[in-house]
A and B are shown apart, each in its own frame.
Chain A
Amino acid sequence: MTDQANVDAIIIGAGHNGLICANYLAKAGKSVLVLEAKETVGGAACTREFAPGFKVSAGAQWLYQLNPNVVSDLKLLAHGLEYAAQDLESIALNPNGKQHIIIHGSHAGGGDLSEHDAHQFAALQGQLLRFVNVLDRVFNRRPPKLIESDWHDKLTLARLGLDMKMLGKEDMSEMLRVGLINIYDLLDEYIDNPLLKGALSVDAVLGSHMGPRSPNTVFTYLYRLLGQHYRFNGPALLKGGMGQLADALLSSAQHAGVEVRTNCAVKKVNLNADSAQSVTLCNGETISAKSIVSNADPKTTFTKLVGLRHIEGGFSRRVQVMRMNGNAAKLHLALDGLPGFSGLSEHQTGARLLIAPDMKYVERAFNHAKYGELSSAPAIDISIPTAHDSSLAAIGQHVLCATVQYAPYDLKGGWNDEQTKQAQNLAIDTIAQYAPRIKEQIVSAEYLSPVDLEQEFNTYGGHWHHGEISLDQVLMMRPTPGCTQYRTPVDNLYLCGAGAHPGGGLMGLAGKNAAEEILRG
């Protein structure tokens, strides 16, 4: 080891946040090396073949919350980012095969939705979007410390206070009230239609270990609404799947001078006293850097890369008790034709399809997950990207990609082939109730449990947010006290992944904010 560091910054993991962080650091003139264990970059933003001739976004399926500043700062459109479809409608599927409800931004209609409910929904969304406006400002900066705050934090807090005041008395007190309650009660206060409420409640619990009745699901719903705050009326699909995002980020990074090495797993982060000095790769090579930035989740970072014995006992306990067990699975179906959903036109099949007939349905699905059981009737969020994008399968063939909720990471008896098969059948059976002939169309199927997701994406617990988005694990408590503002108890070691503020979902702010923090020094 020489005294001279090899590079300014090493980024462990080429997930979208890692690449975004690398981009911003490189743009500021830093020399950056990104080390990725897998063959491809992007982490959960990836496209891969799951059956011969069928490709799918194997991790995240929808692009909705990606921060527009990231897109423009990194010139992602110039680097190949291309939408296959944007502002897609969400269709809440009615079990009766007709009377589906269509949601587009703040508008809902169709089915037996009353005018009153449609009006109430628009009013509720309008109010919540005003709250999201306040949150967005907080999400765009590092989370402020409240007591040991410096001028930067004080400014953030002052602006937050001002933004809250600007809401006006009524909205401000309403924000303080609903920010902590559950989506079940909030929707009950506004809307009567069970199907609409069911579909909306899915947005509040996606990817989390929470049911609609769990307090703090309004917060997660606000989180989801960021997409609409960015002026999208619905999620988008990328041409060529989510791997496109990774490719664009990579291209942008390389253009900025970032070196990216794939098939290059990091074994450990080496400390000198309490300071991170270098990383050792699985092949034995050691590379030193001024800053080491982990895009891995916090548990993996501290337990595997740093080693708990190298950190103070109290903090080590905090890391161990972080809640980040995934509770969502992915289902991929290769189909020899476009599936026919009862009551939907061919065109509508390309929308976002939601199976959640009412909030109690979703809550019951969650009940099973609490006890490590499979949900017998899961809530499902479906995309059929091939309706918009012919590059993923041969002409006439289709791919169905779905998030299945719930699927507990610590399933009783553990995830094995038999349990996975059973879970897959439960999900397919549920979809078949809405698309009666789909089983005959299945050429191949793949079900990724949280354990599979953990292995595929190297995320502890297979949790797509790298840690539950619950009130005790957000903002200045994210990922855990003593490790906020992208810094860690280890000097020169930073976090830039979804485990850090403001969390996951293809948003990119964790990577961007982390870069700003590292540059601040």
Chain B
Amino acid sequence: MKKYDAIVIGAGHNGLCNAAYLAKSGLEVLVLEKNSYIGGATVSRELHTDWKYSNCSYVCSLLRPEITRDLELPRHGLQVQPYGGGVTFCKNGDYFGNYDDHERQQREIARHSKRDANAYDRYAADVMKQTRLIRPFLMRTPPDPTSLRPKDLKELMHLAKAFGEMGEEGLADTLRFWTMSIGDFLDEYFETDVLKAHLAGSGIIGTALGVYSPGSAYVLLHHYMGDVDGTVGAWGFARGGMGAVSAALASSFQSFGGEIKCDAEVGQIIVKNGKTTGVALANGDEYRADIVVSNLDPKRTFLNIMAESDLPRDVVRKAKNFKIRGSSGKLNIALDGMPTFEGIENGSILLKGDMHFSDSLERMERAYDDWKDETWSKDPYLDMLIPSQIDPTMAPPGKHMMTVFVQYAPPYIDGREWTDEERDQFGETVIQQIANHSPDFRDLIVHCEVRTPRELENEVGLTEGNIFMGELTFDQLLFNRPFPGYAQYRGPVKGMYMCSSGTHPGGGVMAAPGANAAREILHDLRRPNIVPGAYADD
């Protein structure tokens, strides 16, 4: 039987990125994917003839630019088109528009509150300061604060230096920002409900936190620390849908001689004498390699595809206690034409960006209360986009594709599985909210896919349907991700590694965990490091 140098479990973007670096370094690498298609949650799927759905992740910004360049993703077909605009519709018929143009944006805020217009630049600068601080750490392995090894001490010193440069008050501001709720943070700057609601969305997307839960300000940062072509904080569409990202990564990987097998679900990581020797598929086939990298989330990795007897007890306990909560759902909708929205002309830039319908922090927080009560939000927070306005490849001419991210949807309803009926009711709740602001929307629906955490878990393999493979709270970030003592991509068994979003720096289509894990693997193999650290721009 053929023996590979390394096997990567799961062809999500992190698995592919990890595999690509390993292959680029000269290793013989096999990627195993349970589905018949690659990409994991980074996919474009044609679920209705001629329409392409980015049916999981839907926008692109976090993908690290150094990886894009290193792996030559543009040459392998990746093209990211930035978009601007965006709007939050108010219950009273008014709206808050988001403009790229600074002057126009100022006028729009001033239309709601002059005081807020004055505060906005200060707000933007303060957030950007935090963003600039965090970006260089995305491509670094977190230090272990309990260790006295020179490598960890050196990294801790590096952290201390970066923080030290901020000065006493600057550091205090950073610590505050990381521990505050996004609601409290915005309340410090602004008075206008709709403006705060518009900005707060990024603090809760994908997390089981409310806008007033401490720690949600950091989640906002997580959505702001990306860039498109060097514009920090900007977002874009991958042309052809998010599947273009995984296709480019796969193509790059294959150009280095890598091999991908689909329909190959791993049943178990084989451990012999405290070392990994390969994997066994669910169908019984075995593949051998001394290095096995899991791109599954920590819960699935340690509780599903590893035997408890192969693991230290603390890892099993920590995996059981790992917080990975489904909190969001998604609707993907094929539209017969461009819907009209009250108060805004078709073609306006406002409709080309993220659209929301929650006009106050209170409505958003109440949506979270429903989640805590184990039901979907009756007045959910939506992040809605119509990417076909910018990327015509997503739908036939004149038709449109709409993606609606929905916060909140619990992993279980009252402690049990979702029923199909409940899924449909959930979909209807969302459609009604949109229809309240778009009279012709309902009639334009040609096809609609409704995804609750149940569908996300069953199809993509994200436990509880958590899009970040683990909550982005501080107990699970940096040296705590996925758990204390295992935050440097090495598993508890020799030869076993982790490269999923469940590791530092976390989820979103960033590919940094995959790249960082590759760096550690190459280090252990005593091969030259080819994975970049911090990016020059940072």
Contacts and interface: CB of A to CB of B under 8 A. Distances in A.
B184 A323 contact: yes
B474 interface: yes
B214 A470 contact: yes
A172 B484 CA distance: 9
B169 interface: yes
A173 B484 CA distance: 6
A481 B176 contact: yes
Nearest to A168: B146
A379 B474 CA distance: 28
Interface string B471-494: 001110001100111000000000
A471 B168 contact: no
Contacts of A332: none
B214 A216 contact: yes
Given A177-B484, A178-B475, A180-B474, A470 B179 contact: yes
A406 to B, nearest CB: 13
Contact of B475 (A146, A177, A214): A177
B179 A146 contact: no
Contacts of B188: 317, 321
A112 interface: no
A371 B366 contact: yes
B475 A180 contact: yes
A147 B179 contact: no
A121 B285 CA distance: 46
Contacts of B175: 471-472, 476-477
Interface in A163-202: 165, 169-170, 172-174, 176-178, 180-181, 185, 189
Given A147-B167, A147-B171, A363-B372, A371 B362 contact: yes
Q: Which of B167, B475, B480 has the most chain A CB atoms closer than 10 A to its own CB? A: B475
B369 interface: yes
Interface string B309-344: 000001000000101000000000000000000000
A30 interface: no
B284 interface: no
User: Which of the four size classes fits the interface of chain A?
Assistant: 35 or more
A177 B475 CA distance: 4
B171 A176 contact: no
A62 B474 CA distance: 33
Nearest to A217: B214
Contact of A472 (B176, B321, B323): B176
Interface string A252-293: 000000000000000000000000000000000000000000
A215 interface: yes
Nearest to B209: A215
A165 B144 CA distance: 12
B370 to A, nearest CB: 10
Given A173-B484, A181-B473, A481-B169, A471 B365 contact: no
A309 to B, nearest CB: 18
A367 interface: yes
A185 B324 CA distance: 12
Interface string A67-98: 00000000000000000000000000000000
A90 B74 CA distance: 65
A174 B483 CA distance: 9
Contact of B369 (A165, A173, A215, A367): A367
B145 A176 contact: yes
B212 interface: yes
Interface in A287-343: 317, 321, 323
A145 interface: yes
A141 interface: no
A461 B420 CA distance: 48
Given A146-B168, A370-B365, A472-B214, A216 B145 contact: no
B529 to A, nearest CB: 27
B215 interface: yes
A361 B323 CA distance: 22
Contacts of A181: 473-475
Which secondary structure dominates chain B's binding surface? helix
A323 B215 CA distance: 16
A370 B473 contact: no
A156 to B, nearest CB: 15
Interface string A338-374: 0000000000000000000000100100010011000
Interface string B123-159: 0000000000000000000000110000000000000
Nearest to A320: B188
B46 interface: no
Contacts of A367: 369, 372
A484 B168 CA distance: 11
Nearest to A188: B321
Nearest to B208: A213
A482 interface: yes
Contact of B168 (A148, A170, A213, A323): A148
B433 interface: no
A195 to B, nearest CB: 19
B215 A180 contact: yes
B390 interface: no
Contacts of B314: 170
A145 B166 CA distance: 13
Contacts of A477: 172, 175-176
Interface string A140-155: 0000011110000000
Q: Which of A147, A214, A371, A471 has the most chain B CB atoms closer than 10 A to its own CB? A: A147
Interface string B176-207: 11011000100110000000000000000000
Contacts of B439: none
Nearest to B323: A185
B217 to A, nearest CB: 9
Contacts of B176: 472, 477, 481
Nearest to A323: B184
A177 B145 CA distance: 12
A367 B146 CA distance: 38
A472 B184 CA distance: 11
A189 B319 CA distance: 11
Interface in B341-369: 362, 365-366, 369
User: Which 3 pairs across A and B sit closest by C-beta, in order of nearness?
Assistant: A173-B484, A481-B172, A471-B179
Given A145-B168, A170-B485, A181-B473, 5 more contacts: A147-B163, A147-B168, A173-B145, A472-B177, A484-B172
Interface of B: 145-146, 163-164, 166-169, 171-173, 175-177, 179-180, 184, 187-188, 209, 212-215, 314, 321, 323, 362, 365-366, 369, 372, 473-475, 479-480, 483-485
20 contacts: A147-B171, A169-B146, A170-B485, A173-B479, A173-B480, A176-B145, A176-B479, A176-B480, A180-B473, A181-B474, A181-B475, A215-B215, A215-B473, A363-B372, A367-B369, A367-B372, A370-B212, A370-B362, A472-B179, A481-B168
